[in-house]
Chains A and B, each alone.
Chain A
C-alpha cells in the first residue's frame, strides 16, 4: 500500500479488531512512499499518468515488475522516467542477467547438449558456488523483512560476479584445448544460474519459468493466476485465483550432470531509446 493508507492499517483496523473481540492483530505492516512521474505527481486529470495496461501492451510484465521493485519508492519517493525504465531493462535485465543466462546456456547447449559433468573443481569454482548459495540465505532474510531492493540488488550483483567469472575463465576458448575444464566451468555457471533463477523468481516470474524449462526442468516454479467465474447467493462475479502449490524450492541447486538442455532462447528484449517528445503508454 502507499503511505497515504498507513493509519487505516495501523490505527483504524486494529482498533476495530480490538473492539470486536479477541482477534489477532497484524504482525507486519509494509508501506511504500510515492512514485512520481518525470518529476511531477501522477495526475489522471492532467494526463500525467502511465496506465498499467499501456505499459503491458508494449513491454513484458517482468520488465515492469523489475523496474518497480528495483527503482520504486520503497523507502523514499522516487521518480519514474522512461529513459530510466529503458536503461534498467537494457543494462540490467538484458546486459547483466540475460547475458549471463544466454552465454552460459548457449555454450553448454552447443558443446554438450546437456548439463556437462564437472571434472576437478578449482578453489575459485568452489568459492563462487558457496557465495551463490549464501546469497540464497541472504535474499531470503531480506525478503522476510520486506527489504525488496536489498534482495534484488544482491541477486543482480551476484549475476555480475558470475559474469566476471565467465569472462575470466572463457570456457568458449578453453573448449578447444581442455574440454573437461570448459565443462567444469559451464557446470559451475549453470548451477549459479539455477540458484539465481530461484532468487529472481518472485520478482521475474515469467522469464524465470522460461529459464527453468531451458535448464531442462519440466515442472512449474512460477505459476500464474487465472480468472474464474464465482457464484454466491444467486449472483456471479469474476475472481482472480489460481493453483499455487507450496513447494520446498528455495534450496541450493543440485543440477545433475547429463540433464538434456533444450535450445536456449533470449530471456529479455532490448528496448530502443525513445524519442524525447513521444513518451509511450500515456493517455
Chain B
C-alpha cells in the first residue's frame, strides 16, 4: 500500500493494447469480459490519475473463418467483415469503451505496417522459404484453406474431421493426413501439390524469450505457465498461406500473386505495434513508440 497515490511523479504515458475482436459475428459477453471491459477500466483509471493514455484496438478481419462464413452467406469477405465491424463498433460504444482509436485490420495503414514488419524479418534472415504440400481445387486450381477440407480422421476415424483439426478427438491435423479428403459440403476432390511458403524462425528466439518471460515474475501465473510451456518446444511457424483474403506478401514474385497472403496470425498480432499510426491522433506514433509501457489486457 502506498500513501502517495495522488502524486504521480511525472505524467506517465500508458499504452493499453487490448486484444482485437475477430469480425466473424457479433460478440458475446464471454468475449467482452476478456478483450474489452478490463482494458477500459484500466484506461479510465489511468486517465483519472493524470496519465496520458493511448488505448488502441480494432476488428481483426482476415483469415479463413471469415472467408468461409462469407462464402456461406454468398457475399465477399469484405462485405461480411463490414457488417460485423459495424455490429461490434455499436456494441463497444454502448458499453462505454473509451478507445482512443478502434480501427480495422483492412485499412491501408494496417497493410503498410504489416508489410514493413514482414520485410524487416525477411531482411534479418528470420524468414525461411520452404516447400510444403498445399491443397487445391482440382477443377479450378483455386487454393483450398484447411477448413474447407473434410475427410475421415486418421486418429479416431470420425468421418467429418476438418483439414485443420478433428472436432471429435481434438487433434490438430494437416489436410494431407485425412483419409478420403474432399471439399467441405460437397464431394469435389482435393488435389495436393507443392506450394512455397515463408516460415518465421521462432526457435531462433527461444533462449531470449525464455529469459524474458522468466524475468517477469510479476505476471499472472496463468500467463507465465502457458508461455514457459510453449517456448520449450518452438517450431518455425508458417507466416504466409494460400488464400486470396489478406495482406499481400511484399516481395517480388509474391506481391502480385492473388492467392498468396500473409497469414492472419502475423497480420493480427502486428496490430499491437501500430497504435497511433495514421489515426485521428496523427503524429503521435514516434512519441508513443519511445515512451510507452505497453500492457495487453
| Interface of A toward B, CB cutoff 8 Å | 1-3, 5-21, 23-37, 42, 44, 49-53, 55-56, 61, 64-65, 68-69, 72-73, 75, 80, 134, 136-138, 140-141, 143, 145-146, 148, 198, 201-203, 205-206, 221-228, 230, 232-233, 235, 237-242, 244-252
Given contacts A34-B30, A42-B30, A69-B37, contact A242 B100 (CB under 8 A): yes
Instruction: Give CA–CA (A245, B52) in the complex, Å.
Output: 8
Instruction: Give CA–CA (A138, B86) in the complex, Å.
Output: 39
Quick check: A15 and B222 within 8 Å, CB to CB? no
Decide yes or no whether B193 CB sits under 8 A from chain A: no
Q: At the interface with chain A, which of B90-98, B158-166, B179-187, B241-249?
A: B90-98
> What are 25 A-to-B residue pairs whose CB atoms are below 8 Å?
A1-B297, A9-B296, A12-B269, A13-B269, A14-B209, A20-B120, A27-B293, A28-B218, A29-B295, A30-B38, A32-B33, A32-B38, A33-B222, A34-B30, A44-B28, A50-B28, A75-B220, A140-B45, A148-B38, A224-B96, A232-B107, A239-B58, A242-B99, A246-B11, A248-B6
| Interface of B toward A, CB cutoff 8 Å | 1-6, 8, 11, 17-19, 25-35, 37-38, 40-53, 58, 85-87, 89-104, 106-109, 117, 120-121, 124, 126, 200-202, 204-205, 208-209, 212-213, 216, 218-220, 222-223, 226-227, 230-231, 234, 237, 265-266, 268-270, 272-273, 278-281, 289-290, 292-297
Closest Cβ of chain B to A253, distance in Å, is: 12
Quick check: B29 and A50 within 8 Å, CB to CB? yes
Contact of A10 among B200, B227, B266 (CB under 8 A): B227
Quick check: A53 and B295 within 8 Å, CB to CB? no
Instruction: Give CA–CA (A82, B135) in the complex, Å.
Output: 46
Quick check: B28 and A51 within 8 Å, CB to CB? yes
Quick check: A24 and B32 within 8 Å, CB to CB? no
Contact of B93 among A55, A137, A227 (CB under 8 A): A227
Quick check: A23 and B273 within 8 Å, CB to CB? yes
Quick check: B53 and A241 within 8 Å, CB to CB? no
Quick check: A1 and B5 within 8 Å, CB to CB? no
Q: A26-B294, A80-B30 are in contact. List 6 more A-B contacts (CB 8 A).
A: A6-B222, A25-B212, A35-B29, A65-B95, A140-B49, A250-B6
Given contacts A44-B28, A52-B32, A246-B52, contact A19 B223 (CB under 8 A): no
In this complex, the member of A19, A141, A145, A242 whose beta carbon has the largest number of chain B beta carbons within 10 angstroms is A19
Given contacts A20-B117, A203-B41, A241-B101, contact A51 B93 (CB under 8 A): no
How many A-B residue pairs lie within 8 Å, measured between CB atoms?
Answer: 311
Given contacts A7-B227, A10-B223, A28-B219, contact A225 B93 (CB under 8 A): yes
Given contacts A18-B205, A31-B220, A240-B92, contact A248 B273 (CB under 8 A): no
Contact of B295 among A20, A26, A227, A246 (CB under 8 A): A26
Task: Collect the chain A residues with CB atoms within 8 Å of residue B8's CB.
Answer: 248
Nearest to A52 among chain B residues (CB) is B91
Task: Collect the chain A residues with CB atoms within 8 Å of residue B109's CB.
Answer: 232-233
Quick check: A11 and B202 within 8 Å, CB to CB? yes
In this complex, the member of B98, B213, B272 whose beta carbon has the largest number of chain A beta carbons within 10 angstroms is B98
Task: Collect the chain A residues with CB atoms within 8 Å of residue B117's CB.
Answer: 16, 20
Nearest to A251 among chain B residues (CB) is B6
Given contacts A24-B289, A240-B92, contact A202 B45 (CB under 8 A): yes
Given contacts A27-B295, A246-B50, contact A141 B34 (CB under 8 A): no
Task: Collect the chain B residues with CB atoms within 8 Å of residue A203's CB.
Answer: 41
Closest Cβ of chain A to B234, distance in Å, is: 8
Quick check: B41 and A148 within 8 Å, CB to CB? yes
In this complex, the member of A30, A224, A241, A252 whose beta carbon has the largest number of chain B beta carbons within 10 angstroms is A30
Quick check: B297 and A244 within 8 Å, CB to CB? no
Quick check: B48 and A15 within 8 Å, CB to CB? no
Contact of B29 among A18, A32, A80, A239 (CB under 8 A): A80
Contact of B230 among A2, A11, A25, A202 (CB under 8 A): A11
Contact of B219 among A12, A29, A198, A205 (CB under 8 A): A29
Instruction: Give CA–CA (A204, B272) in the complex, Å.
Output: 27
